[in-house]
Structure 1
Amino acid sequence: MHINFNDLFLKMQEQLESSQAVLDDSLLIELVNRIRPDDATDLDEINHKFQAFIQALLLTPHAVTTFQNFILKLINQYKQTSLYADTGILSLDGFWNQLAQRLGAHFLPLINDQSQLQDLVRRVFYQRSDKYWLDSIVDADWQKLFALINQGHSNQQDKLKIKSELIKAITVLSYRISGIGLYPEFINAHPELTEYESPFLVQNREINEFIQHYKALHQNTDPMALIVPPDASQALVMIEQCRDVVLKIRRATKRIGVSLSLTYLLSLLEQCLDRIELLLNLIMDEDQLRYESLGLLLVDITHAIYSERSVRSLLAANSELIALQVTENASKTGEHYVSTDKQGFWSMYKSAAGAGVIIATMASLKILAARIAMAPIMQALVFSMNYSFGFMLIHVLHFTVATKQPAMTAAALAATVQQTKGSKTTQIAELAALIINIIRTQFIAILGNISIAIPTAAVITLLWQYGMDEPLLTHVKATKTLHSLNPFTSLAIPHAAIAGVCLFFSGLIAGYFDNMAVYRKVGPRLQAHANLKQLLGQERLNKFATYIERNLGALAGNFLFGIMLGSMGTIGFILGLPLDIRHIAFASANFIQGLICINGSPEIGLIIVSFLGVLLIGLTNLFVSFTLTIIVALRARRVRFEQWKPLAKLVLTHFLTRPSDFFWPPKTPLEVDEFSTPQKSTLK
């Protein structure tokens, strides 16, 4: 591929030879335009155009010298320290200030400082796709280009000026790292920092010592003086120790919890450590390392130019650890929702059956509450409290709502995907076994809810009719209730999907409050509460505090889930939108109540269609909540699982050969045949 660069090299030479004080950066912009591929993902085009530029430098007389002179002088026209020390690194303002600034910048754009080198980079790499094709250039090509440009010993003053700016940036970053390491929240997360000399402080001392030696070397004018070359190895060792502390804190978050501010500090610190190491490499004498680091810095800065004002990138960088902790708590809970043997199978049925009684009662109470003429907000409050306290009671009594399972079991499945080791065949077989166990447990939980909720709701309806001498539902209301379950003529399925989203959020909320209970030390703080000590006594207070610490997430998740279900219809009414929820357990109770209260014998078609609607509502509840949760859980763990098709095929094959395993526990737990091929994998 031939690309003409000669005209640009000639214009660069003309500008260098002229007396103009400021070089024209449009030449560099045009040069990058010619190198830029039409398709940022086409590796062949990227390679051909980049190689064409290198060949042009090699074959064009004086091109290397001209380009070197032009680039160095152009860079030195700008202030550089901020580019090296700030671009691509989070601000010390904190997460919420950063979020507010970035949101504000979307409505009232920030003004670029044209004296800063960032402005030049922003004008040269002005397309969002630039970060992709730059990242696709291999290290060997970067080394070849920079080695070519760095030929000769000319422009020493310009090079020293750039190195001086790099030294300033290294100094800024070093002090910033020291300051972050002294943050109280950081020390609380890793108390050992106060017991020995903090590596965050030691690195600053080592960096300063290195800088002093470096300056002494370059400021020395006596050719006979013996000066030891500066050695950054000790500084790099301390930077690595700082990374170890960050890693320990990240691991400790599973035990101590995590906050948004701590996550922000960890992300900021990691960025500073990565950048200072990169800058140290740039001023070292090892050419290969220097050229490779220069390529990495260019890619990093180009990427940062477009992400430093992005709300999405800020949220992604800072929510990951919290999302991981939230889904980690959910996965631990989810393990209890998966049965592998007959004992666990029947325990799940009993647990779900108990919940069925309470759900039928809640459904009946909602019908009665709907009779009362109330303002929309008050009605939403009453409905919400009915749901919330009912779900909390189910949890306190150790019962199970079937639709709460997917949000928990999906997180457990994601954790299994991350932890599974061995061959792909082994991974797929183990996941298939887990999925079959999940499906079987989900089946018996739904059966437990429905099989008890329906007769309990029927008994309540008949008792009300007998005791109060009036039906629980009028004929019109009963007919409307049954028709609202019709999956073909009503919005039952979309409303079930909304309930699935609420289930998903309730799982995240539960994980968040579990994390908060640990991080904020809710249990110990309750135990130290003076008023509660007087009221309950220390022994009972200790039991209460322990229970709250272990169950705060579940209680909060159930409470807020109830509010979401109870207020969704009112929100739809206020907004004029057809918003509502359909939940399989409540739908099954309403189904039997509608049949009992309708005048005369209901049509068989209405019964079949309504019951079909109940089943589809349940499937939609489960599918939506499970899908959303597993997506979040996998992303939080940075896991990419690409074996979904073989996994689905294996599960389907097992269903066709041994369908009973999906509905009844096998005599022996499902095992994995590690010696089977992916196409022939079987579950024993």
Structure 2
Amino acid sequence: MFDSLKRFIKKWRASRDSGHQLDALLAIANKSAPYADRSEWLIELAHWIRRGRAVQPSDTDDAQADSRSMPAHTRIRYLLHVLDRNPAWKANVAGILRALLRESDGLSLLCDAGMPVHSGFFGALFERLDASLIPPAPNRRDLTAIVTLMFSSERDAEWIGALPTDLLIRIRALLDYEPDEDEQRDSTPFSLDLLAALHNLTCQISSTGLSQTVRSRLGGADTDDTSDASDVRVAMEKQPFYRLTRAMLAVEAEHQAVAAGAPQDKLLHEVNYLRLLLDECRRATDKVFAHLYRNGVSVDIVFQVERMRMRIVRAEHLLNAWMAQDDPHAGARLTAELVNANHASQSVAHLMRSNFSLLARKVVEYSADTGEHYIARDRAEYLKMLRMAAGGGLVTVVTVCVKFAITGAHLQAMAEGLLAGFNYAASFLLMHFLHFSLATKQPAMTAPTLARELDGTGTPAGVDSFVSSVTALMRTQAAAVLGNVLLVFPVCLGVQLLWHALFNADIISPDKAHATLKSFSLLGPTPFYAALTGVLLWSSSLIAGWADNWFVLHRVADALAYNRRLRMTLGVAGAARLAKACRSNVAGVVGNITLGLMLGLVPAILTAFAFSFEVRHVTLSAGSIGIALGLLGEHALELPELWWAVAGVGSMAILNVAVSFALAFYMAVKSRDLRRNAVRSLRGAIWQRVLRHPLELVWPAKAAREGQ
């Protein structure tokens, strides 16, 4: 048959008539051929079905029915039409299908298709790249391999799940067409394969659910020092994972009793109980995720729990198909789900999306509490933000002066970048502990707070609350920029004038002042540099969220509070206060230090190894312009380079905020796995609010808090 198949492929490529291609393919079908040849024949048949151009049957009724069908449906209808007219071909095709189902391992497809194997990203990536370079061989007696080779497009699940009833009935009739005595004697009903796969999945679900990783994060088993061990033991026995395996064994026992002639009432009762336990297991996984998001997210733990949840969903699908064996659509839905899951398990793009979503969820959750403090929702909070921003602008004055002193020393680029990083980090830490605010830093920290509100956007009230929070964030950012700039610019100007009056010297030289103004020009690379600075602002919030998550996950606060030496030195109350202070400030300290070092070192590294890059931050740049203007005097107001620099600072304010917020919001959306149409509807709601109430972007309404 292999030589015949090779000759057929040559004729296939030479022929443009789909009908002739199918006739040639059906003519070489042989149910007695070796396993590999039958697999290759079925793969070629699947490729013929999946081809885009439809084939119109000669029968008028079929043609009218296919006018509303997908091309794959049309081709299957034409295939069945041809087989009905050629009984010999039909017997061989039916025998090939039955033989492959009988001789192939179906448990791997039913249980494992689409289930992740590696918890690490790179392990899963290399596995999928290896699978894409080396596809499975058709001689593997594994249904997963055959399905992978037959259905290589993500659209295949769509047309399989949409197969009409008449086609499903005819396909089932084809599978039952003229089986010989050997096939009837050796065949195993597909229902038993479904039952075996269901047994396998319930055992795996039970094993994971009873592990310490999951058990310790369930409500009844989340123990502390005051928990009673007997209460924990009873709580474990009441968990659905503990009862799941017994329920599955009861279903199998009742199925055997029904096969022996017993009534089905008790079987239905056991099946319903099994469904109930699976539903309770699903709710238990939600509790585990809630515990993780409250107490720190671990990638390995989330991987195990997520895989368990996928197995619960698969078990429900198998149970539905097993109980609805007379419904042809149940089998089609199960097949479509298996094809879709198998394709997802082979897709590198799907791996990237799922892992990025997991990383986003891990980082976002713990930035949310910090970011809430940076959203001014009423007038009192708005005025407070102005005061905090003014304090931040005052600290930035010192930062700008020290920066010019560092650049004036003309050190080596990397040493200069390191000193500048220390300068920025010290300034940011001082702002943090004095509860001051730096413009453009809030969006990266507050977008995770908005991510928490995305959970409620399924209702009109939730959408309105989300839009109100976005509006409040824009308004708060405007206050932060305004407070920073209105203080840093005049104070830097006054510092330069005072320095000249006291010491008859200038902080920078006239040439440096002109170079500073030109470097901030809107006509230069300033917008590009400002956008890259926004990326650094977002990256700092990413690291801050990771640090906070790590601190909570490893329960560092508890370790500090109960540390023996700390208790002896500071006392019990002092150790508890230290632990609380570390918990409250870990994200801010790590985020500010990393932001400062990145602002100092990243430009030096990129300039040395890639392309020229300079930090363009609106507050620092406004202060630099103030010092330059104080040195150049009133005649600088007539210089075009000054006004181009002012325009450049305006672009910095927009791009610093827009880029950092866009990246953080994108991560927040990914952490919630929102669909694109949902994101588009949220954008539309935001624009509608801005167009209806534009003044809310600069000044909060009186009832802002009540309306939110």
Which TM-score band applies after superposition, normalised by the shorter structure? 0.7 to 0.9
Tell me if structure 2 keeps the 8 A contact 1:9–1:67. no
CA distance in 2, matches of 1:131, 1:365: 63
Q: Structure 1: any 5+ residue segments left out of the alignment?
A: 673-682
- The match for 2:41 is 27
Tell me if structure 2 keeps the 8 A contact 1:517–1:523. yes
- Residues 453 and 518 (structure 1), Cα distance of their counterparts in 2 relative to 1, 3 Å cut: same
- Residues 653 and 89 (structure 1), Cα distance of their counterparts in 2 relative to 1, 3 Å cut: closer
The question of 1:178 aligning with 2:194 is answered no
- The match for 1:631 is 666
Offset from partner CA, 1:165-204 (integer Å, 9 cap, x none): 5555444433322332233322232262553314223222
Q: How far has the Cα of 1:98 moved from its partner?
A: 3.0
- The match for 1:641 is 679
Offset from partner CA, 1:479-528 (integer Å, 9 cap, x none): 2211110010x211111101111222222333333333333222212111
Q: How far has the Cα of 1:351 moved from its partner?
A: 0.6
CA distance in 1, matches of 2:265, 2:702: 79
Tell me if structure 2 keeps the 8 A contact 1:263–1:322. no
Tell me if structure 2 keeps the 8 A contact 1:142–1:295. no
The equivalences for 1:133-532 within 5 A come to: 133-134=158-159, 137=162, 143-144=168-169, 147-149=172-174, 151=176, 154=179, 155-157=183-185, 159-160=187-188, 165-190=193-218, 192-193=220-221, 194=232, 195-197=235-237, 198-211=239-252, 214=255, 232-284=271-323, 286-288=325-327, 291-324=328-361, 326-372=363-409, 374-420=411-457, 422-423=459-460, 433-465=468-500, 469-488=504-523, 490-532=524-566
- Residues 666 and 167 (structure 1), Cα distance of their counterparts in 2 relative to 1, 3 Å cut: closer
- The match for 1:47 is 70
The equivalences for 1:67-106 within 5 A come to: 67-91=93-117, 93-96=118-121, 98-99=123-124, 101-102=126-127, 105=130
Q: Normalising to structure 1: TM-score of the pair?
A: 0.84
CA distance in 1, matches of 2:424, 2:165: 63
- The match for 2:30 is 15
Pairs aligned (count): 656
- Residues 534 and 3 (structure 1), Cα distance of their counterparts in 2 relative to 1, 3 Å cut: farther
- Counterpart code for 1:204: T
Tell me if structure 2 keeps the 8 A contact 1:36–1:130. no
Tell me if structure 1 keeps the 8 A contact 2:121–2:355. no
Secondary structure (helix, strand or coil) at the match of 2:435 reads coil
- Residues 305 and 227 (structure 1), Cα distance of their counterparts in 2 relative to 1, 3 Å cut: closer
Offset from partner CA, 1:406-445 (integer Å, 9 cap, x none): 223434445445424655xx67765554444333322221
- Counterpart code for 2:236: Y
Tell me if structure 1 keeps the 8 A contact 2:154–2:340. no
- The match for 1:669 is 704
CA distance in 1, matches of 2:368, 2:434: 21
Q: How far has the Cα of 1:548 moved from its partner?
A: 1.6
- Residues 119 and 390 (structure 1), Cα distance of their counterparts in 2 relative to 1, 3 Å cut: same
- Residues 31 and 107 (structure 1), Cα distance of their counterparts in 2 relative to 1, 3 Å cut: closer
- Counterpart code for 2:622: S
Tell me if structure 2 keeps the 8 A contact 1:139–1:295. no
Tell me if structure 2 keeps the 8 A contact 1:588–1:614. yes
Q: How far has the Cα of 1:111 moved from its partner?
A: 6.6
Offset from partner CA, 1:313-356 (integer Å, 9 cap, x none): 33433453552353344444443333243322211110100111
Q: Which structure: greater helix fraction?
A: 2
Q: How far has the Cα of 1:153 moved from its partner?
A: 8.9
CA distance in 2, matches of 1:83, 1:279: 12
Offset from partner CA, 1:105-164 (integer Å, 9 cap, x none): 3897587584132222222123x3444644662685785465444557945456517555
CA distance in 2, matches of 1:508, 1:313: 22
Q: How far has the Cα of 1:89 moved from its partner?
A: 0.5
- The match for 2:148 is 122
CA distance in 2, matches of 1:416, 1:95: 29
CA distance in 2, matches of 1:595, 1:21: 84
Tell me if structure 2 keeps the 8 A contact 1:474–1:598. no
- The match for 1:38 is 52
Secondary structure (helix, strand or coil) at the match of 1:403 reads coil
- Residues 396 and 153 (structure 1), Cα distance of their counterparts in 2 relative to 1, 3 Å cut: farther
- The match for 1:557 is 591
Tell me if structure 1 keeps the 8 A contact 2:125–2:351. no
CA distance in 2, matches of 1:159, 1:107: 34
- Residues 387 and 111 (structure 1), Cα distance of their counterparts in 2 relative to 1, 3 Å cut: farther
Q: How far has the Cα of 1:309 moved from its partner?
A: 4.3
Secondary structure (helix, strand or coil) at the match of 2:201 reads helix
CA distance in 1, matches of 2:571, 2:346: 53
Offset from partner CA, 1:360-419 (integer Å, 9 cap, x none): 211222222233454444333322222222212211111111212222343444544542
CA distance in 2, matches of 1:482, 1:106: 56
Tell me if structure 1 keeps the 8 A contact 2:30–2:93. no
The answer to which of 357-366 and 607-616 deviates more is 357-366
Q: Structure 2: any 5+ residue segments left out of the alignment?
A: 1-16, 55-65, 222-231
The question of 1:591 aligning with 2:606 is answered no
Tell me if structure 2 keeps the 8 A contact 1:2–1:52. no
- Residues 102 and 536 (structure 1), Cα distance of their counterparts in 2 relative to 1, 3 Å cut: farther
The answer to which of 404-413 and 626-635 deviates more is 404-413
- The match for 2:578 is 544
Tell me if structure 1 keeps the 8 A contact 2:147–2:339. yes
CA distance in 1, matches of 2:569, 2:375: 39
Q: How far has the Cα of 1:587 moved from its partner?
A: 0.8
Secondary structure (helix, strand or coil) at the match of 2:373 reads helix
Correspondent of 2:643 among 598, 608, 612: 608
- Residues 662 and 299 (structure 1), Cα distance of their counterparts in 2 relative to 1, 3 Å cut: same
Identity %: 23
Secondary structure (helix, strand or coil) at the match of 2:508 reads coil
Offset from partner CA, 1:219-274 (integer Å, 9 cap, x none): x7xx9999986954433332222212101212333322321112101211112222
Q: How far has the Cα of 1:281 moved from its partner?
A: 4.0
Q: How far has the Cα of 1:588 moved from its partner?
A: 0.6
Tell me if structure 2 keeps the 8 A contact 1:335–1:409. yes
Q: How far has the Cα of 1:458 moved from its partner?
A: 2.8
- Residues 134 and 365 (structure 1), Cα distance of their counterparts in 2 relative to 1, 3 Å cut: farther
- Residues 224 and 4 (structure 1), Cα distance of their counterparts in 2 relative to 1, 3 Å cut: farther
Tell me if structure 1 keeps the 8 A contact 2:493–2:627. yes
- Residues 52 and 500 (structure 1), Cα distance of their counterparts in 2 relative to 1, 3 Å cut: same
Tell me if structure 2 keeps the 8 A contact 1:260–1:319. no
Offset from partner CA, 1:601-649 (integer Å, 9 cap, x none): 4243122111111111111111111222222212322332333575365
Tell me if structure 2 keeps the 8 A contact 1:177–1:272. yes
Q: How far has the Cα of 1:464 moved from its partner?
A: 4.4
Tell me if structure 1 keeps the 8 A contact 2:30–2:92. no
CA distance in 1, matches of 2:33, 2:701: 88
- Counterpart code for 2:531: A
Secondary structure (helix, strand or coil) at the match of 2:216 reads helix
